[in-house]
Structure 1
Amino acid sequence: SVKKVRPFALAAFARGLRFDDESVRELMQLQEKLVLTHGRRRRKVAVGVHDAATVRGDLVYKAVGADFEFTPLGWDRPAPISKIMKEHEKGREYAFCLNGRDYPLFCDGEGVLSMPPVINSQRTAVKMRTTDLLLDVTGTDWEACNVALNILCHEFAAAGAKIEAIESDGRLAPETKPHEMLLSLDGVNKLLGVAFKPAEAVKCLRKQRLDATEKNGVLACLTPRYRADFLHPVDLIEEIALGHGYNSFKPKQPSMFTKGSVCVETLQEDKARDALASAGFVEALSRVLCNEDAAFKALSETRFVKIKNPISKEYGSLRGELLPSLLGLLSANTHNPYPQRVFEAGEVVVRGGKEGTQTKRHACAVACHSAASLTEAAAALRHLLESLGVADYALHPCGENRFMKGRQARVMIDGKAIGVIGEVHPQVLENFGLQMPCVAFEVRLDELPYA
């Protein structure tokens, strides 16, 4: 089922275009840059552009097996999908997006239009004489797909095309109704250091092509659906600053001289990074905002803090530990050579404290290869703790679901648990699509003494 691979598919027609060599190159560049950045190298969103004159009948989005045959773009004869993924340039480049599971196909009444996110069909290739286009957008997040389709439709509309929406699962695409974001005028003035009046702030937003109204000190701003960069009210404050003009802000001399220095927490994190890097691990940098699904797949017992009104499901929670993020990273790199050893030292958010949540600092390392063992992880853990000035610690057996029974332990210092180490459970490996054994440990840096 496509729901398990790439659950969302949107489409629209752009009719009445004229192409030459330059416009074809611009179209290809727009498509590639869009899926590279907004689409996260096609993993999150992929775009297909087809000659609409070759499309017949109803559009169907389905999943097929690796033995299904069609003629990919650039080839002159049909081939099984398994061969396309191994021998076609785009198949090799984007195989990591599918990981050998069922393969999604976008089809019409005569056959295959595209195999997202990899390659289009040769039958629907865009030519110089093409005047009408079919745009297909597939991905793992509906709103991200809608943004991509809006961007394409606005570009083609600006070039004189007529856009025709297509209904999918009872929803017309692209959806163009703007989102409303609320912004406190006091917050604007505090951050920018300028006493804007309501009418002035609204004028600045309208200079940036953002409609806005003001009521009781609150700005109601309408953000267009082809803009994917409005994640927080501070993004609107930036638009006000741009509308006002950066050169219009008057610089102010600081009233007090201060001298900064690196805090002990940062020094400790840097020591942890140096220790794990010297042990052969490569540092990863993942977001504190995350998708809670990764925690479920990792069989985590930590309750992640959820965001009340997330912009996207991909960033609907705050991570409570680092291991799910690293397993997700390894899952996205199964096409790269092994062994793979990665680590991260950074912030997590846990429940508790006066405010209901607390920010903590963790360090986590994972080794993934055919010979990965608890001995390897224990050696790296010892090296890390000794580098942080901890020579006396103990490992006590524990029973967490995410690790294999009898091959896991709590890391104890002075009778207090400060972390965990173990061989990752096969069910977790299967959930992340990993075919190699993994060993991991994660420690709470806040619980360690500052060396």
Structure 2
Amino acid sequence: MAGLEVEEEESVAPAFSRVVVAQIISADPHPNADRLRLCRVAVGAGDLLQIVCGAPNAVANAKVPCALVGAELPGGLQIRSSQVRGVESHGMLCSARELGISDDAAGLLLLDPAAPVGEDLRRHLDLDDRLLTLKLTPNRADCLSLEGVAREVAALTGAPASYIEVAEVAAGISSQRAIVLDAPAACPRYCGRVIAGVDAAAATPPWMRRRLERSGLRPISALVDITNYVMLEVGQPLHAFDNQQLAGAIHARMARAGETIRLLNEQAVELQDDILLIADERRPLAMAGIMGGEDTGITPATTEVFLEAAFFAPKVIAGRARRYGFVSDAAHRFERGVDFAATRRALERATRLVLDICGGVAGPVTDALATLPQRPPVRLRPHRVRKVLGLDVAPARIGELFRRLGLSFVRDAEDFIVTPPSHRFDIEIEEDLIEEIVRLHGYENIPAALPRAPLSMLPRREQERPVARVRQLLTDCGYQEVINFAFVEEAWERDLAGNEHLIRLANPIASQLSVMRSSLLGGLLANVATNLRRRQSRVRVFETGRCFFRDPLGGPVPGFRQPWRLAALAYGSVLPEQWGCTTRNVDYFDVKGDLELLLAPLAARFEAATHPALHPGRSARVLLDGQAIGCIGELHPQWQQKFELPLPPVLFEIDLDPVLQARLPQYVEGSRQPVVIRDMAVVVDHGLELQELLDALSAHRPAIVNDIRLFDVYVGRGVEVGKKSLAFRIVMQDTRKTLLEAEVDAAMQQLVAYLRQVFAAQLRV
């Protein structure tokens, strides 16, 4: 709960007993077997033991583990005195595999020549040590080292931490290499020094080998093991080059197109121009922060090394190793952030170990420095801590926790101005500091409080209606809500929205979901296609969601506009198949009626228009109060074929905000007088739009005319070619008196005369 989860705990070796450090005094051939030896072994007490052994490295003076008679080894093996090819054997000389320490079974486990004979092997090798596997979150790169974990445990427990003392190594020679930071933003610090006269074939000390193995690293050679050991100690990856293979100055630069390098894992890679390189004057030497090159790696013949320690910007390293199909411990640390203030300290520590183990003499340190990352102060307000945690943490307690974490701060009235240390890349905002406080204070110390739910009426304007009401209206019309990805196929944007200004994703979750949508229609069409593949022949779906457009005057995100939209689609029959009515496929007017119901009491206008996704001549623009809010129509035959739809679906897409507006109800006195209904049919030009005619009649209708509705359109016998007959139902009523026949006839004649004058209409009889 404090951030350092122990995922696993295990012993470094399985249980065994009565195994001691022994020394082989003599190893003679077995009289009855060519591959066995008759060893006389000292175990520190009593007489020498006679033990038969077949290991090839069972030689005189070697110190090895010996299981005494009565010992029990891993797997339940009991050691007893026995005869081997006619010769008594009183014990067993053991390999690392037989003791469960490692998988090495090539020979006996050779111990330190200085190991005291007779000492219990578990004590000598510290085999009762425990291995803790920590499960770190990616933001805690500072705990990817022994010092980092110690620093964290000290902060959590309040116990003092003891860190490695590192002193500067004085230069004994003048040899050094120039370092040039050609990409200072990617590599703002690079330290290096030459160490001459080293013995690359020197053996890694047993204590170091043991610690590396228990940390999951395979010992390779002394120089390489030292760099790995320091990385585990202080968290700073290092690399050692064979200095005699280098030419001129060391450059930290970006790769050039076409450059290649063969890495230490024997993988040859072609470098891209966003890869940071360490190079000399002739060629690349290493993928910076990831892996060194094979040509300049350490070999047993190396006598002079160039030891480096650097800081690389995390964003320059992140993801580069995975791109080439491998990972490395260095990349794992650099892409999360390495302490840029401890670079030289790690180099000095590694230098001292090299001199102590491999010998040699060190040159002066070259420390190339550019602009290191800034650590802007973060303000913490105690009242914000109370609000976020629901816990009153005293300022004195906050200061104490910050000091335990090594966070330097100053007080500004009640606030804390905290400067994050160089090893903490995860402290950037106030909430980061609050998280530090609560995990040290202890989540378990937050008092449990019963939830409080004060009830109060939420204000809601009557001119607005909630989105839930809009969704319910569409559901009542038989539509089902869907939620699609805001990431869509590029082809959908070009085909269905005519969008050439695509908003591409930098890191799409799938290759076909590579752009942000500017229309909801593509997702609905994909839903229909999916349902048809599953034998669902009648589909009605709708979606509400954000669409995305480039706009210099955009909203919350500069340069982008994100309107909220509503789209619906109907496909197949109008009603589910049944005996009570004839099956009929949905058409434009069915969906238009659903849209009008959705917008009511607002009255929308529909004007013929074209749209990239819709059928020309069967699509319209939707207007509300004179403003275009969307479109409606049948799917274009080209896209119907592309989506493999047997029938054309009918769709609409509108802006959602106008739909959420509602008009206040207004009182209108109901009339007690009867209504008078008259029908009127007129012949007009075929190209005349009905809406134009209705608008004109509504504007010039007599006072007693309440409603004018079209109920029939006829073209055919009895109507001149190029003409059409429109039949209207006229509803008339007076609120004060019963209408007289003469008043009704006068109103009808007025309407006919107006139509004849403006539209050259002829009354059809």
TM-score interval, smaller chain: 0.3 to 0.5
Q: TM-score, length-normalised on structure 2?
A: 0.28
Which structure has the larger Rg over C-alpha atoms?
2
Bigger share in helix? 1
Q: TM-score, length-normalised on structure 1?
A: 0.44
